[in-house]
Amino acid sequence: MQRSTTLKRRLSCTDLKSAKAMRSNLIQRPRSGSPLLMLSAEKDGCRSNCVYNPNDDRVYETTSDLSGYRFLGSSGKWFLVVDSLLKLYIIDVFSEERIDLPPLESFKGSLYKIERVGENKVRNILFSDLSPGDPHTAEDLRCRLWVGDNKEDYVVVWHFEMNDFLGFCKKGDDHYREILTRTGVRRELRGVKDMLLKGYSLYVLAIRDFIRHLDLSGHDEDGIKDVSENHKLPMWKPGMSRDEHERVNIYKITSSSESIAVTRLGQVLVVYSYELGNSQRHRMFHLYKRDPKDLDPKTYLTRLLEVHSLGDEALFLDLGTTVPADHTRGIEPNSIYFTRGDRIRHRNPSRPDICVFNLTTKTIKRFPTLSNFNVKDAQWFLPS
């Protein structure tokens, strides 16, 4: 199948004359590693998925029709998507290439099975008493994706919020395998607040603020090995500065979130973000890591240290990882690229806040062009 390496300029839904004139106006695919933003947006009464390039401040359509997909996660140029019938695919946003994934009802677990409810819903059934859970739609699905170089392998992990399990598959699998999040799991590692996938390593931020680390590289039936650190107390964050505390008391926190990320060297970071209820839509970020003296597995202390600088790296929170800064590619050093803090665990109210936060200056850069669109969701991605 021949691949296209171009994006089409975003078209107005109502201006047909301009649309015809611009359909041949193609741009070359950006340099490898240049940040792009996948948008689910409304403009002129039309709902569509499109791509924003911050380097030229323009919004483009992809060459293939991506309408009808909800974008769940990305790895390089590949996106994990779901359609309204709850069918999962991995797609290359620059071509027509698509990988069909197993149906959700192929899930094989020890405690649960998945069954269809009509055309566009599924629910889990507990084997022990055959009691059904609440039906889920495509809007309830949370996922992570990793695709290796040249597609030699891929890993997909999905989760329905409030369920007590995750499903995952790798290349060549015809079904999803089970990762239990409560039954048989150490108490401090139960539940899911956030998760990220870095190669075959799955990191889960548990409800009690411990981090569960699973190795999914195994080739046996389970394919899972728990390599979590054995700490007895949750990770405590240091308090705010006096000035920040006063600011919070005045304007009040309207929303907050906790996420996890992993640096290129494998350091796990806890990312805390909050938004204040003032007219400027002020957002703040704090990064934390484990105190080096607590790395001894025999320790009972797990106090965190604040990370004030990422150095010559940038954190893309949608991907859960850091990358080298590169001004030629538009990647700013010591910065956090953000869209929303509740990608895995839903919060109410929930809305995207597309921005780049500089850890040195504590300032935020937003993109005024996007105010012309009614953005429903967005994700940063780095096509390779």
Confidence of residue 195 (pLDDT cuts 50, 70, 90): very high
pLDDT for 303-356, tens place per residue? 788 999 999 999 999 999 999 999 999 999 999 999 998 888 776 666 789 999
Q: Enter the tokens of residue 107.
A: 């899930």
As a whole number of angstroms, the distance between CA 80 and CA 69 comes to: 9
Mean pLDDT of the chain: 85
Beta-carbon contacts of 241 under 8 Å, excluding residues fewer than 6 positions away, are none
Q: What is the CA radius of gyration of the chain?
A: 21
> Which pLDDT value is given to residue 64?
75
pLDDT digits (tens, 9 = 90+) for 170-180: 999 999 999 99
The pTM score is 0.89
For residue 28, what pLDDT band results from cuts at 50, 70 and 90?
very low
- Of 7-16, 104-113, 267-276, 344-353, the poorest mean pLDDT is in 7-16
The phi-psi region of residue 119 (left if phi > 0; otherwise alpha if psi is between -120 and 50; otherwise beta) is alpha
Residue 251 belongs to what H/E stretch? helix 242-251
CB 285 within 8 A of CB 272: yes
Q: Reduced to 3 states, what is the DSSP secondary structure of residue 14?
A: coil
DSSP string, 113-162: EEEE-SSS-EEEEETTT--B---B-GGGEEEEEEE-GGGS-EEEEEEETT
Phi, psi for 202 (deg, rounded to 5)? -105, 120
Residue 20: pLDDT band (50, 70, 90) is very low
Q: For 238-275, write each residue's pLDDT tens digit.
A: 888 888 888 888 888 888 889 999 999 999 999 999 98
Tens-digit pLDDT profile for residues 34-65: 999 999 987 666 678 899 999 999 988 887 77
User: What span, in angstroms and rounded, lies between the C-alpha atoms of 71 and 321?
Assistant: 19
